[in-house]
């Protein structure tokens, strides 16, 4: 009787609960959430329609093919400058190594000329690193400029950069730039000048801090490349997409991010580098180095600048071996692959003592292994 009574009591409780307003409200909420989830799924599918996402090896770019296609042959009939003229905008009192790494890497890969536009405090230090670089001590920081002089000084900085701008195939903006407000304001105007002149720009380091807070500087400019690391990418996602990084849908999120910024190309650095221009996504997973010494991002930005300029010229010349018509994407694939190969060779020889300068010394050999000089 006790058991029977217990069973009957249990069924009665279940019946009462099933007919209660509380449960009915819960069931309605569950159905509503289900409908909402289905609507979201349909909306997401429509939004991503036309963009194909694949996993594993099929995402991997044929980086060596890209490198061979866009790297120009060494021709005695060419003159100085035809293999690339790169300028780095960066370098202040605290940071002189980063702009040097970016600028010298461009030369080591094969660019003919490499310039650095930096503050006066940084210029003599950077010059001492190498006589190969052309250094312009034109940038100013707030501490050296009175408030009533800022307009005049800013105008002089822009005039100095502008007279050189048409000579450059690509700008690298950000290595060692720092976050001084006056300096960043001047660089914002330099970015606008570059856009007006249709000069490609690769943005790294503190340049990413600048554009993340002023997206209009690069929004809608297809010749802009952003090269964020983990933390820089997180800030971009939070700013642009108003959410957190979702590694389970990493490819879709990267495409959405590039598309929302207006078709810029983003090279998301990590264990594998992922590259998207808002339409496609590619990865470069060539093994690099477990040694994470500072400065490797600067090598990458200088490398991407050179390859972007080479890809742009190859596309203009109508090279039939190039399938993609986006020089920014091609430049990112080539720069990422070469940087990783050079890091691998450096680590193979130096192990834990590997430094950024060691990796730079292997850039030429790495490119020669893929594209031997004939």
Q: How far apart are CA 25 and CA 36, in angstroms?
A: 16
Residue 53, token pair as written in the block: 């996402």
What is the maximum alpha-carbon separation in the chain? 106
**Model pLDDT, residue 26:** 45
Query: What does the angle CA 106 – CA 173 – CA 144 come to, to the nearest 5 degrees?
Result: 120
Count CB-CB contacts under 10 A for residue 51.
Answer: 16
Phi, psi of 260 (to 5 degrees): -65, -30
- Tell me the sheet residues that pair with 274: 268, 283
Tell me the pTM: 0.84
Q: Considering the chain, what is the average pLDDT of its residues?
A: 87
Share of the chain above pLDDT 70, in %: 85
- Tens of pLDDT, residue by residue over 74-125, are 888 888 888 899 999 999 999 999 999 999 999 999 999 999 999 999 999 9
- CA distances in angstroms from 318 to 46, 67, 84, 170, 311, listed in the order given: 35, 16, 18, 20, 11
**Model pLDDT, residue 86:** 98
pLDDT tens over the chain, length 374 residues? 334 334 344 434 433 444 444 444 444 334 433 433 344 434 334 333 444 444 445 799 999 999 999 999 988 888 888 889 999 999 999 999 999 999 999 999 999 999 999 999 999 999 999 999 999 999 999 999 999 999 999 999 999 999 999 999 999 999 999 999 999 999 999 999 999 999 999 999 999 999 999 999 999 999 999 999 999 999 999 999 999 999 999 999 999 999 999 999 999 999 999 999 999 999 999 999 999 899 999 999 999 999 999 999 999 988 777 877 899 999 999 999 999 999 999 999 999 999 999 999 999 999 999 999 87
**Long-range pairs for 143-149: beta carbons < 8 A, 24 or more residues apart:** 143/180, 144/120, 145/182
Q: What is the chain's Cα-based Rg?
A: 26
Count CB-CB contacts under 10 A for residue 167.
Answer: 12
């Amino acid at each position: 009787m006790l058991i029977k009574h217990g069973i009957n009591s249990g069924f009665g409780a279940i019946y009462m609960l099933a007919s209660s307003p509380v449960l009915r409200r819960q069931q309605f909420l569950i159905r509503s959430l289900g409908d909402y989830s289905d609507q979201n799924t349909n909306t997401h599918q429509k939004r991503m329609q036309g963009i194909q996402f694949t996993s594993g090896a099929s995402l991997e770019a044929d980086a060596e093919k890209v490198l061979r296609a866009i790297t120009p042959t060494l021709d005695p009939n060419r003159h100085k400058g035809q293999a690339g003229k790169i300028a780095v905008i960066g370098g202040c009192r605290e940071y002189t190594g980063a702009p040097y790494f970016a600028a010298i890497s461009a030369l080591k890969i094969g660019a003919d000329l490499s310039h650095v536009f930096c503050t006066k405090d940084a210029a003599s230090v950077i010059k001492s690193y190498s006589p190969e670089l052309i250094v312009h001590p034109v940038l100013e920081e707030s501490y050296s400029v009175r408030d009533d002089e800022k307009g005049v000084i800013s105008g002089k900085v822009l005039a100095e950069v502008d007279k050189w701008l048409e000579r450059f195939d690509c700008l690298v903006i950000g290595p060692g730039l720092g976050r001084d407000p006056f300096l960043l304001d001047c660089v914002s105007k330099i970015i606008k000048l570059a856009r007006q002149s249709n000069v490609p720009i690769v943005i790294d380091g503190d340049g990413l801090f600048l554009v993340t807070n002023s997206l209009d500087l690069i929004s809608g400019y297809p010749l802009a490349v952003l090269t964020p690391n983990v933390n820089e990418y997180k800030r971009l996602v939070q700013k642009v997409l108003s959410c957190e990084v979702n590694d389970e849908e990493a490819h879709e999120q990267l495409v959405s991010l590039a598309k929302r910024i207006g078709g810029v190309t983003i090279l998301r650095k990590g264990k594998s580098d992922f590259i998207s221009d808002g339409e496609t996504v590619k990865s470069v997973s060539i093994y690099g180095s477990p040694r994470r010494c500072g400065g490797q991002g600067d090598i990458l930005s200088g490398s991407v600048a050179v390859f972007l300029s080479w890809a742009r010229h190859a596309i203009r010349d109508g090279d039939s071996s190039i399938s993609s018509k986006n020089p920014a994407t091609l430049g990112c694939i080539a720069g990422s692959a070469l940087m990783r190969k050079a890091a691998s060779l450096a680590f193979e020889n130096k192990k834990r003592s590997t430094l950024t300068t060691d990796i730079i010394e292997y850039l030429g050999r790495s490119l020669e292994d893929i594209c031997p000089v004939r």
